[in-house]
Structure 1
Amino acid sequence: MNLTKLTLLAGAVALGFSFSATAGPKVVLHTSLGDITLELNEEKAPKTVANFLSYVNEGFYTNTVFHRVIEGFMIQGGGFELQSTGKIEQKKVKDSVENEAKNGLKNRRGSIAMARTSDPHSATAQFFINDGDNGNLDYPSFDGWGYAVFGEVIEGFDVVDKIADVATGTKGLHARMGDQTMERPMKDVPNENVIIKSIENVKQ
């Protein structure tokens, strides 16, 4: 499926990241398949990190799911919530954040980047973790902008692999249209829900 029509949606030295020598904020994704620890780069992606942490600190991500999973490409989540009825519904979000993809950070395996629509500056809460080296998503990419990387996995690569390896198919998710939601079929959705129980801001 055309990426422009969808919301995209080891150590740093070994992976070739250009992260700061100063440790950045850390968060832990507590998922139904285990924990993933991320280090965020507020030096190179200050607006993106501030936006992401605002959602984290508000508890926005609690009980959301990884709703799009493509092994070898990425695992995407942070925007759809599992309801008590079993329905998966897109959450209301705040204003979008400026695209900081021109920061030198790369969409390599283990990096976390902001998901967005075809509008370069439409990123809000959804994110994806790269399950492969996706240089085609780096600035300037196919649309002159690319997808803004703002951190990396530092623990829990095995959990990323578990999530990337789940069976997927087409499932009806309730996408948001203003104040209303409408069910529509989406591809690459895990057959069994992979839940983000919470994201914890690790105090340093």
Structure 2
Amino acid sequence: MRIWIAALALSVAAPAFAQVPPAEPTAPPPVTAPPPTAATPTPPSPPAYAVVHVRLTTSEGPITLAIEKQRAPISAGYFLKYVDQKRLDGTVFYRAVKVAPGYGLIQGGPRNDPKRVLPAIPHEPTSKTGLSHTDGTISFARGAPGTATGDFFIVIGDLSTMDADPKQPGDNQGFAAFGHVIEGMDIVKRILDEPTSATAGPATMKGQMLVQPIKILTARRTD
């Protein structure tokens, strides 16, 4: 089985603004001083979601991730197993998908290496986690829902069309986002711009496989 990402659909629509006629002029209301009131207390900030920080040290430089262990516990826990068992050390980023200028993704991971892959996990859709495929999001590649085995991708730009959408027909479960880049997006964008082969890879990936894959030297927790 080959891990692949379905064709991406990206639509960017400019908002429409209705022309509003100017209101008829009216006399200004009388100005009165407001009654004294007690100072309104500042509401407390909502608690931050628990994350685990992971650094991918690549041949192009470091990429630091915040892994959403609280909001996406299944996917985050699975990724952290790969990190803790050093199964990502020596893997590569091998795919760069350019959707439009400033939009795309890079994909890496064990690529079905039997010495590295762990058993697949249940799919954890964004409709459950509340996450979205915005700029810098890390998510699992898959075929059918529940077939992810460690290959992952990082999003460049807003690709929220990859989120779960129950209104869409067919496989509408989207992809399992589980964290985001907090440092090193310049490295991610540099990998996206690497040369790709016109002939390498399966039919669905023609023109997307990197001529020179980018090595993932190590993946480690930094907390």
TM-score between the two structures when normalised by the length of structure 1: 0.76
What residue number does 2:9 align with?
none
1:133 is aligned to 2:158: yes
Identity among equivalent positions (%) equals 34
1:115 is aligned to 2:141: yes
Q: State the 1:153 CA deviation.
A: 0.4
C-alpha distance after superposition, 1:92-143 (max 9, x if no partner): 22211111112110001101011101x1111120100001211211012752
| Partner amino acid, structure 2, of 1:128 | F
| Structure with greater strand percent | 1
Query: Any stretches of 5+ residues in structure 2 without a counterpart?
Result: 7-45
* Alpha carbons 2:94, 2:107 under 8 Å: kept: yes
Q: State the 1:6 CA deviation.
A: 5.5
d(CA) in 2 for partners of 1:171 and 1:91? Answer: 22
What residue number does 1:151 align with?
179
* Alpha carbons 2:3, 2:151 under 8 Å: kept: no
* One of 68, 71, 75 as aligned partner of 1:41: 68
- Counting matched residue pairs gives 170
* Alpha carbons 2:137, 2:179 under 8 Å: kept: yes
* One of 214, 217, 223 as aligned partner of 1:194: 214
* Alpha carbons 1:76, 1:126 under 8 Å: kept: yes
Q: State the 1:48 CA deviation.
A: 0.6
3-state DSSP of counterpart to 1:56: helix
Q: State the 1:65 CA deviation.
A: 1.1
1:91 is aligned to 2:113: yes
3-state DSSP of counterpart to 2:110: strand
d(CA) in 2 for partners of 1:110 and 1:40? Answer: 12
Moved over 3 A (4+): 170-173
3-state DSSP of counterpart to 1:199: strand
Q: State the 1:32 CA deviation.
A: 0.8
Query: Any stretches of 5+ residues in structure 1 without a counterpart?
Result: 10-18, 81-89, 174-183
d(CA) in 1 for partners of 2:135 and 2:163? Answer: 12
3-state DSSP of counterpart to 1:194: strand
d(CA) in 1 for partners of 2:209 and 2:3? Answer: 13
d(CA) in 2 for partners of 1:193 and 1:146? Answer: 26
TM-score between the two structures when normalised by the length of structure 2: 0.70
d(CA) in 1 for partners of 2:199 and 2:113? Answer: 17
* Alpha carbons 1:114, 1:126 under 8 Å: kept: yes
